[in-house]
Amino acid sequence: MTALTDPPKESFRLSMLINDTRYRSLTFQAIALLVLISAVAYLASNLMANLAAAGLNISYDFLGDPAGYDINQTLIGYTSQSAHLQAAWVGILNTLLVAFLACITATILGVFAGVMRLSNNWLVRKLMSGYVEIFRNIPVLIWILIIYAIMTVSLPAPNAFRGDSPESTMLLDSFAFTNRGIYIPSPIWGAGSIVVVLTFVASIIGVFAYRRYAKKLLFSTGKLLPMGWPSLAILFVPTILMFFIMGQPITLDYPELKGFNFRGGLKIGAPLIALWVALSVYTGAFIAENVRAGILAVSKGQTEAAAALGLRPGRIMNLVVLPQALRVIIPPLISQYLNITKNSSLAIAVGYADITATLGGITLNQTGRAIECVLLLMLFYLVISLGISAIMNTYNNAVKLKER
């Protein structure tokens, strides 16, 4: 009787690390890792040694010291006596604000331009390719400076609004366009305004619920409910009703020319506008190309088949082509969002107080802690970029073609 046994286990020899393909890649990776670690360690120790020789050290104590400088746009409380850390937070929020705004407008602009570039209308097509080629091929810094320069030169200074017969007047007595920014009325939240706001939030949820229901109905019964006007109605009617029921708790604070500047209302500063618009139009041109590529990736037969079913061109785009194009569009779109966030660091060119301007600019300069500040900046941008990437990839997984 014979028993089947495993072949004798080959004993491990050191030479197999090089000769055996099973181990070879691991060997090289381990060597590469070791080299990398020692290179980084060498640089770090060299840095430390040189800092010590210069009598300097790495310390983050300065973050708690009063910053001493003022910032022209703050979303959170800040005075010149606040700590450098608070100034950094102000900068972080400003970065996120402009990145968020620019991502939205760039997407809208990009999708519009990308679709229009494939239009059958010669003029529209050429206009859009002109837009894409011009904006994509000129550096974003130049666009930021151009838009800022146009704003400061072409719009009037606040003192043009002064006097009995001023050179400029406010639009509808509530909007002032000046070279320092746009002043608009801001809401004053009175008692009971929270109810109105909650109603509005509930309405937004309601709109989504309605659209979901309509879609479900369409898929199960083939009955198409109207989408446009009911959505708008759900969005606004309850809120407006609640606004009057609560006795109009939200009033507006109008900007008024007082002293040197407009006071009151909400100011959207010229640097923010310049940065926002420049990032939007610049990145919009790239997104337009992504969208165009995505649409071209959908077979023409799909369009023809949809048309044969009697769908209108708008519906074909919305229901057939774009959903399939999204899986091609979204991955590069993630890169564009990252680009917007990173390019917002050019803010200092127009004096916008983003993180690079506060922590990486004034704080660095006033404290002289260059290495510490730059390390923090790198950490911030890394966290933000990875965050955006994670969120967008989750979305991508949700919309990508499901293979069953």
Partner 1 sequence: MKKSVFLGALTVAGLAAGVAAAGTQDDVKARGKLNCGVTTGLVGFAAPDANGVWQGFDVSVCRAVAAAVLGDANAVEFVPTTGKTRFTALASGEIDMLARNTTWTFSRDVDLKFEFVGINYYDGQGFMVPKALGVSSAKELDGATVCIQTGTTTELNLADFFRKNNISYEPVPVETNAEGQQQYLAGACDTYTTDASGLAATRAAFENPADHVILPEIVSKEPLGPLVRHGDNEWADTVRWTLNALIAAEELGVTSANVGEMSMEAGSSPEVNRLLGTEGNLGEMLGLDADWAKKAIMAGGNYGELFEKNIGENTPIGLARGLNAQWTDGGLLYTPPFR
Length of the chain as a residue count: 404
Q: List Cα–Cα distances, 399 to 201, 268, 287, 404, in angstroms.
A: 25, 35, 18, 14
Could you say which residues in the range 296-355 bind partner 1, by CB under 8 A? 348-349, 351, 353
CA-to-CA distance for 167 and 188, rounded, in angstroms?
30
Could you say which residues in the range 241-260 bind partner 1, by CB under 8 A? 258-260
Which tokens is 100 given? 């968020």
Q: Is residue 261 near partner 1 by the rule CB under 8 A? A: yes
Using CB under 8 A, which of 51, 75, 205, 268 touches partner 1?
Answer: 51
Nearer to partner 1 (CB atom), residue 294 or residue 361: 361
Write the burial class of residue 356 (CB in 10 Å: 0-12 exposed, 13-18 middle, 19+ buried): buried
User: Judged by CB under 8 A, which stretch of 51-59, 85-93, 108-116, 243-251 contacts partner 1?
Assistant: 51-59
CA-to-CA distance for 359 and 365, rounded, in angstroms?
9
Nearer to partner 1 (CB atom), residue 66 or residue 323: 66
Which tokens is 117 given? 């570039």
- Residue 358 amino acid letter: T
Q: Is residue 38 near partner 1 by the rule CB under 8 A? A: no
* Shortest Å distance, C-beta 305 to partner 1: 56
* Shortest Å distance, C-beta 143 to partner 1: 18
Lay out the site mask for partner 1 across 225-244 (x = CB under 8 A, - = otherwise): --------------------
Nearer to partner 1 (CB atom), residue 97 or residue 124: 97
Q: Is residue 11 near partner 1 by the rule CB under 8 A? A: no
Using CB under 8 A, which of 2, 81, 220, 221 touches partner 1?
Answer: 81
Q: Is residue 157 near partner 1 by the rule CB under 8 A? A: yes
Count of residues of this chain found to bind partner 1 when the rule CB under 8 A is applied:
44
* Shortest Å distance, C-beta 166 to partner 1: 14
Closest CA to 288 of 334, 329, 318: 329
* Shortest Å distance, C-beta 270 to partner 1: 7
**Edge-to-edge strand ranges of the sheet holding 266-269:** 176-178, 181-184, 266-269
Nearer to partner 1 (CB atom), residue 331 or residue 351: 351
Could you say which residues in the range 344-383 bind partner 1, by CB under 8 A? 348-349, 351, 353, 357, 361-362, 364-368, 370-371, 374
Could you say which residues in the range 164-183 bind partner 1, by CB under 8 A? 179-180
CA angle 393, 228, 112 (to 5 degrees): 50
Nearer to partner 1 (CB atom), residue 371 or residue 399: 371
Nearer to partner 1 (CB atom), residue 93 or residue 145: 145
* Shortest Å distance, C-beta 54 to partner 1: 4
Q: Is residue 55 near partner 1 by the rule CB under 8 A? A: yes
User: Judged by CB under 8 A, which stretch of 130-138, 153-161, 234-242, 383-391 contacts partner 1?
Assistant: 153-161
Contact 113, 280 (CB under 8 A): no
Using CB under 8 A, which of 19, 29, 72, 121 touches partner 1?
Answer: 72
* Shortest Å distance, C-beta 149 to partner 1: 8
* Shortest Å distance, C-beta 234 to partner 1: 41
CA angle 284, 97, 137 (to 5 degrees): 25
* Shortest Å distance, C-beta 62 to partner 1: 9
- Binding residues vs partner 1 (CB under 8 A): 43, 46-47, 50-51, 53-56, 68-72, 79-81, 152-153, 157, 159, 179-180, 258-261, 263, 270, 348-349, 351, 353, 357, 361-362, 364-368, 370-371, 374
